[in-house]
Structure formats: C-alpha cells, structure tokens
Structure 1
Amino acid sequence: MKLESWFFEGLTGEIVTPKTPGYEESRQEWNRAINKFPLVIVYCGDKQDVANAVRWARKRCVPIRIRSGGHHYEGYSTGNCVLVIDISRLNRLELDREKNLLRMEAGAKNTAVYDLVGSNGYAFPGGTCPTVGVSGFTLGGGWGFSSRLLGLGCDSLVELELVNDQGKLIKANKDTNADLFWACRGAGSGNFGVVVGMTFQLPEPHNPTVTLVQFFYVGTTKDKQANVMDIWQKWLPDLDPRMTVVASFYNAEGEGLGIFARGFFYGTPAEASALLQPFSAVEGYREELEESSFLEAVKKVEATYPPSEKFKSTGRFVQRIYSGKELSNIADLVQHPAEGSVYAAVSFYAMGGAIESVGKRDTAFFFRDARYILGIQSVWTDDCAAKVNREWVQERFQSIKPITRGSFVNFPISNLPNYEREYFGGNAPALNRINRKYDPFNVFTFPQGLK
C-alpha cells in the first residue's frame, strides 16, 4: 500500500485504482461492449487536478485518455494500463444573457446544457443523447437535430480553455492561438490537450417553437426501404434548413424490418407535414408531428435513450445520388442481422443547410459538402454475440466505403487505414503540423490520434 501511495503521489482529485471500491463501475463506458482496465482514473474537481494529472502522466510515462461523457464509440476515452482524466465533475454552467453567451466547464452533459438554455428561451445545437459530454460532441464537429438550421456544435464555439502538454492552462479563440482554435473545431477530441472550458455564442432567445417530427411505415419490405431511400436522396438537397432528421432502416428482434425517422422542425406541424409529403407516396406511411417548446422536444428525445447499450456503430459521408442497384445493395445490409443482434440499422443523418454554409477549410471539419451521413449499427445484449456483431458492422462498413468519401470522427471505426485522411480530408496535413506545435512529444495519444 505504501508503494501504491508513492506511485500515485502528485495526483489530486478523487483517485480510483483497481484496488479502490467502485473501480468496476468507474471504468465502465456508456457502451458496455467496451471492456478496458485503466491503471488509474482521476475524477477532476477543478482545472488544477487536470494539470496535475497531465504532469504526473508525463513523469511516469503513463498514456493519457480523456473522458467527459464516456460515449466514445470505440472506447478511446479509456484503455488498458492508462490514466483516465475524467472531467465529468467539471460541469459548471454560466449564461450571459446580455451577450447571449454560454460559458461552461467541459464536463457538462447535453441534458444539463439543454435545461439551462432551454429554460431561458434559447435553442442550442447539441446532440440527442442526454449523457453525452458537450465537449467531446463539439470537438468532433457535433451533429444534432438543429444542425441544418444552427450549424454543427463546433460552429457556435467562440473560445476554449485547454490544459496543454506542460500542464499549463491556455486559451484559444480566433485571436489567441487561432490555429489551435481552428483545429479543435472538428479534430479536438483527445488531441492537443485536455479541454476544460468552452464558450458558445447562442442564437437570440425567442422561445422557439419546435415540431418533433416522427414518421414510419406499416409493413416494411426491402423494396420499400430502397424506395424511401430514393425519395430521401432526392428530397434532401432542397429541404427547408429549419428541418433536420435522421431516418433509419432497421431489422429488430421481434419486429423485423422497419423504417423510422425522427428530427426537429423549427416551425408548425402543418408546415412540417407539407415538407414530408414526398414520403407519403410509399404505401404504409404514417407521421407523428408534435408542437412544443425547444426544451420539451429535447426531453422527449432524451427519454428514448437507455442508460447504456452494447453496440458497434460507425458512419461515412455521402456526396452523391445512388443508382437503383446501389440503393438495393444498401437495403440489403440489414436484411440478415448478425446472430444475437437485437437491432441492426442503416441510418441517414441529414446534412446541408447551415452545415454547408461554412467552408471546409474554415474549421477542421472538412466534409461540409456531404449530403448526409450513412451510419451502420448493431446492438446486442449477450456478451457472447459481441465478436460476430462487430464483424457484421465491419463487413458492411467495407461494402459502403467505395461509394462514400470520408468517415465521421464522432462515429469512428477502429482498424481504418489512413484514418487521418479519412476523418479530416484535406485538413489532415495542417492538423498534423498544429499537433506537432502544441503536443511535440505526443503526450496526448490514443489509437487514432494525430501523430
């Protein structure tokens, strides 16, 4: 015990090791299929705890992982024999109503941010899952149900605070460390340092009316999935930017094939219904449109998420129209789920609108011109099914890779060759130069970090 105390000397905050009660719970990610065993987890209560952890890791040559919400799809916010810097307790929020600014510590979750801004009449371009950390979401770009109107999460970011490789606190904005600020808007997750504070410019408060959009089909078939996909790809380019939706073609245990879409429309149900009319051409179409405040709509979406899952999920960018044969091949992807799968899906996350209005070189998020993100997912409950389900997703990823261009870093996939180019496109060389400047000794590393 004395040896352990000596080894962890210098760390502050709540220190959790394999010998600490609660270690098993503390090491868990939201994705319970991730099963890693950190050397030590530090729950940081303030920024100094973060700085001490970085300095300790450098001195001991222990790899660092950074965790806020613990939602990294491939589990890169943890690892075996690493130091996990957990910033989830750095979660204070401050609303500046005079300047319409949200200042937050970087461990804040979607649900807490929504509660604050929504109750004060603001909208916020955050994510959909309540327990996702806003910092991880934003630093990877950040797609959500307001993105086509308000932009990606990173587009509203105006300043950040970061603990660098020396354990020093620095700021980055358009005037100070501007290159670092540029890089963190789309490529900041786990790279460059530990982000501990963020400031967002909010839209003017006006208690926006939001229609929660949901539509589905009765009696889904493979042909129907392909037909709806064809409508989707022709409908999306001219869609009113006030609407952002994700449509999923799935195969679920006990239900079979289905089509379900959900999203937000910043307007009335009647307007939303008119926009959705092209989908009614396919037999079995049903829609549910519910008008409410922004916060009420967010809460309804949050309530659909389980406390945890076991899954593998990833996503690629789509830039073109697909032929009938290609649509049939995409629909084929979910016809035969992996053994043990309880839910397998191909999903389409709408882009365009305000996302595309920002230049691909203006932030590190490169694939601004994509029409949508094509996602693939499988969920299981039995640990014995993990291997075959992971392989199922990996095989389907390989099948869509030739007809897509670039992978979404917030929907990552391991074993991706040339991953820097795949995630960051033409911005990858500049990102590597900035990484060498701010983290020359690769203090902040993870399996798909900038090198």
Structure 2
Amino acid sequence: MSSEVQAIVLQARLHEVSLTIKNGGHSYTGSSTTDTGILLDMAKMNNVHLDMEKEIMTVGGGALWGNAYKPLINARLNGWAVNGGRCPTVGIIGFLLGGGIGPFTRSLGMGCDTVTEISMVTADGHLVTVGENDPPHTNEGMLFWALRGGGGGNFGVVVEMKLKVLPLRGKECGVTAGRYTWLPDPKDDHRTLLNTMNRFYTMNWSDNMTIDTSWFSDTQVQEGALAVRFMVYYDGNEHDFGKEIHKAALDKDLERQINRRVLTEKSSRFFHETLVAQWDEETVRAFPSNGTFRIYSSFCFENNRDDFEMITTIVKEELEAFRRLFRAETNCLCQVTFIHSGGKASRKPRDATAFRWRDTVFHSYIMIQFRDKWLEKDMRGFLQKFKERLKPLSLTKQASFIAFPDASLGDDAYEKAYYGENRLKLQQVKRIYDKTNFFNWAQSIKVSRSGSAKRRREAERATENQEEEFSSGETIQPDKLTDQVAKARWENTFEPAPCEWLAIGGPEGGGAWLSGGPGGGGARLF
C-alpha cells in the first residue's frame, strides 16, 4: 500500500491540496482530522509481523498498539514486550514519532529508543528507508534522528517501522498492575493529601515502578469532590511491589488500598485485559460519538521537592476553584494527569534523538471537559490562569510534551516548548525532506532559511546546549481561541437551508429544518 500513499502525496502536491495524516486519531488538538483538503487515513495499513528470531516487530503505518500486542498475546510470549502505549487504540506511528512514553518506559527506555528502521513517503513522493545503521551526519541519519521525537506530520508519511522486542524482568516475575481512586478527607484542609502526594512525586522509585496519577474534580461524581486516581504498572511481582510501596511511607490507608487493588499476572494477560480495563474511560473519550468538548495544556516536571510542594498546592487550589465556579453545571470535568517517566528514559543525552525532555520525571497535562458550548470562553479562561501558575515550574519554564500538545502556544513558542534546542536541527531536516513546506499545519516544524554547511553545523552544536529559561513566547488568548474552529467550519463548509424551507417549514409547514429539509438529510428544529 505504500505505492498508494506515494500516489496520494504526489496528486495532493500537484493540485496544491492540503494533506492531513490520521494514524489512530488520538490527537489532543484534533490535528488528525480536517474539514479541508485530503484526510489520509492509514487505518487499513495495520499489518504487524513478529520475528522472534531477530526479536523485531514490523508494523504498518496505520497499526494501533492493540494490533502490536496481539501477536505477543496469541503466542503467550510472557516476559516480552514492545515498548508501547497505555491505550490499545493509540496509533503506533504517532506515538513513536512523539517519543513514546508507556507503562514500561522507566524500565525499557523511551519508545522511540527501540525503533531500528523507518520507511517514509517524502513530500516529493519518494519512498525512503532510514535506520540505526545510517551515519548520524548524513541526510538519512538526520532523518532517523528527527523521526524519533520530532512529532508527526512534519517530514512525510511513515508507512512502516521496525521495533525491538524487549524482555521484561523475567518470564516468571510477571507484571503487577491495578487502579485505585482515592477520595481524601478534606477535614484537615487536605494537608494529608498534600504531604502524601509530595512524598509520592519526589520518591526515588526503582526503574521497575511506574505509577500514573490523575487529580480530578468532576461535577457528576461526588459533587465535584477532589479525588486522585492511581494507575499502577510494575515490572515484577506483587511482593516486591508491596515492599517498594511500603518504603514510600504513604498515607497508611492509601497504602493498604493500593496493595489490595493490584494483582500479578503474566504479561500477555496484562496486555490483553488490564490495559484495556485501566484505560477504558480514555478510550471512550476518543470515540467520535463523544459529544463533549476538551481543551488541554501540558508540562514537563522534574521531581524536585520544592517545586512539587508548589505544584500540588496549585493543583489542589485550582481544582477546588473549579468545583466552586462550575458546581451548578453538568458534565464538567477538570483533570490533572501526571504520567510517570524518568528511569531508563532519562539516561540518554538530550541530543540522542529529537525527543528533548529526557530529564522529565512526570509529563503532566490539564484536561478540561464540558458539554455546553457556551461554557467555552469561561473554560478557556480558567485553563489559561491555571496554566500560568504551573508553567514557571515546567522545565525551561515552558517545556511541553509534543504528544500532549497545547493549541494556545503561539507561533514563536511551540517549537521551543516541544523541542528546545533540538528545534534548529529539526528545521534543517525539514529543509532537506520538505523544502516547500508541503506538510504544513498549525504547529508544524518550520523550514530552515538556510541549508548551508555552516548552518547545519550550528544546528548540530545547538543540540548539545543546555536550554536557557524562556517564558516570553506568545500565547493565543482565550477570547481568540473561543469558537474559532467551529466558526470556521460553519462559514466554510456548512450549506444553509434554502430560504423557503426556513420560512414555511418544508412542505408540511409548521417548523424549521436544518440543512435543506428531510430530502436533504436535515433535522427538524421545531
């Protein structure tokens, strides 16, 4: 099918039609959907081939993590893993192009670190294959570097990847996993909550331990009371897990409940059942039938004690404020999620791949969800204030994870936030493989103005620099973001109903119809 992708790219470029790539469809900013141009849905390229002699898995450009886990499950290859995503419906290619943080990142490294070869259709329709054997300073070596953390939709259409299949701690150890939602008692003004979570976030956990947490205030649950959900993945058995949890000296009741709500199972069962059960809510949110609106902002935090004392206090205060402000509304949720990273992922230098923020121990994001569209302005304003309090505590005071993109980042800010000092080299790769900027979207990598040998050397040296703090980048203000996408869709793509339908309500009269009456597939308004 790669030849079909080549033909589509060539025709789109020839006719100057924009091209949007869809692999999985879990984009937080909706960048895998479009109302204009061509939507290239890779879904049918979901082939997966497992070669255990070489310990390599080959995946097609539209494969999801559920497709990748299936051969491991079917063959009962317990103790082996592909370093993939938590949610089985996430697209493999997009996940790895963004760097890839999964349940075993701390013990196996970044997902992109396990990639050995990538095949991609370029903007001029050529099929190129790059891999770990390409010298770093060649065009091919630079592209291989860029595709491991440089994000999707920037250089071409990836049609195939090869990944290492890696051993977990041991075939007999199994995987310990579970989920527990804690409703801390507010009677002490949540001092127990703050002390416990500060200890938790700054604990020097072993590489085998991964625990994600989500703080949330949901107007539909417990009247919006503050809650914290723990998602556990431990590369080892329940006994070893319990000893490590005990060392953390968490709240005693919380420790007991977490230990009660995990179990040890073989890894094939974990991939087949437990991941699905843990992330069923997130999967449902990704369905097109979900009618709620969602907005996001993200951060990269180290586990510094002083910082986290401020972070947890801010999160507590803002979630309580959300509860007060929107307590009379239905279907409103504010959630702050901390995705556990670090461990082995942090042991490669920042310039090893395009993924930059290896010092991050918790990739965090705020998600605000609401159903009524007239709440958008208030919700965006609330998110902006929340974000302004947390951003100074993120790496470089602005770092964000490209897999959790922030649509409010302005034109001068998003490349710094996602890629730091790697951005100049990414711009050079863009110039080599997409000089005319065919793959262009709201937050795509820019084309370097010069591709001279001098500029390439400067870009390479920049990747070795330590980032300076930068917090002065432009932010698109909430008023400008509010309703702009819906307005553009309405004005550019909606065909209004003929005047006579609106005036007399169709042949039967007595009502108004949306989009042309019953013959035009519309719906009666009244």
TM-score range, shorter chain: 0.7 to 0.9
Q: Equivalents in 2 of 1:244, 1:212: separation in Å?
A: 10
Shift of 1:153: 1.3
Aligned-residue Cα RMSD (Å) equals 2.0
Q: In structure 2, what is the equivalent of residue 274 of structure 1? A: 243
**Distance change >3 Å, CA 118–CA 382, structure 1 → 2:** farther
* Post-superposition CA distance 1:121-160 (Å, at most 9, x none): 1212211122110100110011111110111211111101
Distance 2:183 2:157 in 1: 47
Q: Say whether residues 1:350 and 2:340 are aligned partners.
A: yes
SS at match of 1:191: coil
Note closer, same or farther for the CA distance 1:386–1:50 as it changes in structure 2 (3 Å cut).
farther
In structure 2, give the amino acid aligned to 1:94.
Answer: H
**1:220 to partner: Cα distance:** 4.0
From 75, 83, 86, give the equivalent of 1:125: 83
Read off the aligned partner of 2:267 and give its amino acid letter: F
Structure-2 change in CA distance of 1:400 and 1:352 (3 Å): same
Is the CA contact 1:228–1:279 (under 8 Å) kept in the aligned structure 2?
no
Alignment-derived partner of residue 35 in structure 1: none
Paired position in structure 2 for 1:77: 32
Query: What SS does structure 2 have at the residue aligned with 1:113?
Result: helix
What is the deviation of 1:119? 3.4
Q: Aligned match of 1:138 in 76, 87, 96?
A: 96
Counterpart of 2:196 in structure 1 is 228
* Alpha-carbon distance in structure 1 between the residues aligned to 2:408 and 2:335: 21
Residues 328 and 183 of structure 1, relative CA distance in 2, 3 Å threshold: same
Aligned to 1:434: 429
The aligned amino acid for 1:270 is H
Query: How many residues matched?
Result: 404
User: SS state of the match for residue 271, structure 1?
Assistant: helix
Query: Which of the residues 408, 412, 428 maps onto 1:415?
Result: 408
CA distance in 1 between partners of 2:94 and 2:349 (Å): 22
Q: C-alpha distance in 1, partners of 2:185/2:351?
A: 41
2:316 is aligned to 331
1:216-261: CA deviation from partner (whole Å, max 9, x where unpaired): 43434343432232112321xx211011121112112222211111
1:300 aligned residue (266, 271, 274): 274
Task: Point out the more displaced range, 187-196 or 335-344.
Answer: 335-344
The verdict on how the C-alpha distance between 1:115 and 1:220 changes in structure 2, with shifts beyond 3 A counting, is farther
Aligned mate of 1:312, from 286, 289, 295: 295
Distance 2:305 2:19 in 1: 42
2:108 & 2:263 partners in 1: Cα distance? 21
Mapped to 2, the partners of 1:214 and 1:182 lie a distance apart of: 36
Q: Which amino acid aligns with 2:221?
A: G
- Does the 8 A contact of 1:89 with 1:107 survive in 2? yes
From 385, 389, 414, the equivalent of 1:395 is: 385
2:358 to 363, 368, 371: 368
State how far apart, in whole Å, the 1-side matches of 2:251 and 2:239 are: 20
Give unmatched runs, 5+ long, in structure 1. Answer: 1-45
Task: Determine if contact 1:225/1:249 at 8 Å carries over to the other structure.
Answer: no
Structure 1 368/281 Cα, relative in aligned 2: closer, same or farther at 3 Å?
Answer: closer
Is 1:254 the equivalent of 2:247? no
Find the structure with the greater CA-based Rg.
2
Deviations 1:372-413 (A, max 9, x none): 112211223444444433443333222211111210000001
Distance change in 2, residues 1:391/1:57 (3 Å):
farther
Tell me, in whole angstroms, the C-alpha distance in 2 between the residues paired with 1:390 and 1:179: 38
CA-CA distance at 1:438 after TM superposition? 0.8
- C-alpha contact 1:124 1:146 (8 A) present in aligned 2: no
The 3-state SS of whatever aligns with 1:314 is strand
Q: CA deviation at 1:318?
A: 0.9
- Counterpart of 2:176, as a letter, is T
Q: Do the aligned residues in 2 keep the contact of 1:344 with 1:379 (CA within 8 Å)?
A: yes
SS state at 2:176 partner: strand
CA contact (8 A) 1:213 1:272 kept: no
TM score, norm. by length of structure 1: 0.84
SS in 2 for 1:333: helix
Change (3 A) 1:195 1:216: same
Q: What is the match of residue 447 of structure 1?
A: 442
What CA distance in whole angstroms lies between the structure 2 residues aligned with 1:136 and 1:73? Answer: 12
Residues 430 and 344 of structure 1: CA distance in aligned 2, closer, same or farther (over 3 Å): same
